[in-house]
Structure 1
Amino acid sequence: MSNQIIKKSKGFNDDVLWSNLKEGDEKSFSILFERYYKDLICYGNSLSPFSEKVQDCVQDVFADVWVYRNSLQDNVVVKAYLLSSVRKRIARLFERDHIFRKTTSTEAIEFLFDFSIENELVEDEVTAERVLYLNKLLNDLPPRQKEALYLRYHQGLSVEQIAELLDVNYQSANNLLYRALLSLRKEWKGSIPLILLISSSVL
């Protein structure tokens, strides 16, 4: 790549960066690393309480991407691919450490993310009380439903991508989202849209 192209590479979309990476462009690799490292760490920490091991897993995923770049698929959704790779690597780590029985599935991983609505979205005391209750409802959802919501509204994945990441079919992934939202909508009567609150919640 020329210096002019490299200077503009921050504006490149993931497809361009991925293609450049596959051709050995270190700058494109670095941009993807910087773009998604925090998201992958956040997701990894929701799957494992061992933060140092999560960091190792995320770094190993990026290392593998670079080392095996010549064999990477051309058409991938980069963010979904990286999230899935982190999940699989953490599952292998758990298996190695005998945290759960030997399995080729990642289903045994428990989702640990805690939803917490940001205070600045709260309009009044009544709404604040409702939001506290909504936090509880979110965090009391079954782990798979919580993870599906997180991937859909925090990481922006499609239902198809969530299905692939969780190793389930499309209908199962759609059901996880539907049941979670149905459960929440039965209880939420606030003036702030439910989806806005879920999307803006933080650790």
Structure 2
Amino acid sequence: MKIKFKNSNHLDDDTLWSNVKMGDEKAFSHLFEKHYAHLIRYGNSLSPLKDKVQDCVQEVFTDIWIYRESISESIVVKAYLLSSVRKRIARHQERDRFFGKTTSIDTIEFLLDFSIEHDLIADETTANKVFNLNKLLNELPSRQKEALYLRYHQGLSVDEIASTLDVNYQSANNLLYRAVLNLRKDWKDIILLFLAVTTSLL
């Protein structure tokens, strides 16, 4: 599926979703183009098998088109897509003998390493802080890393993170709180640096 619509990022998700539900193929193509890249990146953070990730993302969009009339209109599109990809990868892992011990979506390990780019570094002191920030972020437990990624790289709310991870609001909030607490425990200044850098990436 090769789609090359330009300027699809400025289109409103709610409008696209509403039009998709009415059978608008062009809106569906725009939705695919707008979200495909970050869904692939998120999928690759959950599975090392890139071909399977691409299959999962395309299957999610295929199901959206096939079942568009029965899917609720009142959803947060980005959170719905991220959650659907996560669940699809979990189902593939359950069926694949290579992931023989994987029996639940809760067992998916978040594989992405945080890496703040060097072009954001203004001086040597900041460079050292960023190095330590990356190190501490990547030492966090998998679920805490994933919650931070969804919050600060995907821009999801706590409610949307809960939906994506298939947990309740309090559990999602606890994951974020414990992650920040773990960072604060190791380095007081790291929270402000993390928030400043990740906000610039949104």
Q: TM-score, normalised by structure 2?
A: 0.89
Unaligned 5+ segments in structure 1 are 1-7
- Tell me, yes or no, if structure 1 residue 21 matches structure 2 residue 20: yes
Considering Cα pairs closer than 8 Å and 6+ residues apart, tell me whether 1 or 2 has the greater RCO.
1
CA distance in 1, matches of 2:50, 2:62: 18
CA distance in 1, matches of 2:148, 2:114: 10
The aligned counterpart of 2:55 is 56
8 A Cα contact 2:57 2:85, kept in partner: yes
1:167/1:11 CA distance change after superposition, 3 Å: closer
The aligned counterpart of 2:198 is 198
| Alignment size in residue pairs | 194
1:109/1:26 CA distance change after superposition, 3 Å: same
The aligned runs of 1:13-162 (5 Å cut-off) are 13-98=12-97, 99-101=99-101, 103=103, 105-162=104-161
Query: Percent of aligned positions with the same letter in both sequences?
Result: 64
8 A Cα contact 1:40 1:58, kept in partner: yes
1:106/1:190 CA distance change after superposition, 3 Å: closer
1:199/1:107 CA distance change after superposition, 3 Å: farther
> 1:123 corresponds to which letter in structure 2?
A
> 1:33 corresponds to which letter in structure 2?
F
1:188/1:60 CA distance change after superposition, 3 Å: same
What secondary structure, in the 3-state scheme, does the structure 1 residue paired with 2:106 have?
coil
What secondary structure, in the 3-state scheme, does the structure 2 residue paired with 1:168 have?
coil
Spell out, residue by residue over 1:84-115, the C-alpha distance to the aligned partner (whole angstroms, 9 max, x if none): 11000000000001314363x41100000110
1:180/1:190 CA distance change after superposition, 3 Å: closer
**Which shows bigger deviation, 106-115 or 176-185?**
176-185
8 A Cα contact 1:185 1:194, kept in partner: no
CA distance in 2, matches of 1:53, 1:129: 37
CA distance in 2, matches of 1:137, 1:149: 13
Residue 159 of structure 1 and its aligned partner are, at CA, apart by 0.4
CA distance in 2, matches of 1:87, 1:191: 28
Q: Alpha carbon RMSD of aligned pairs, Å? A: 2.2
1:135/1:67 CA distance change after superposition, 3 Å: same
> 1:189 corresponds to which letter in structure 2?
D
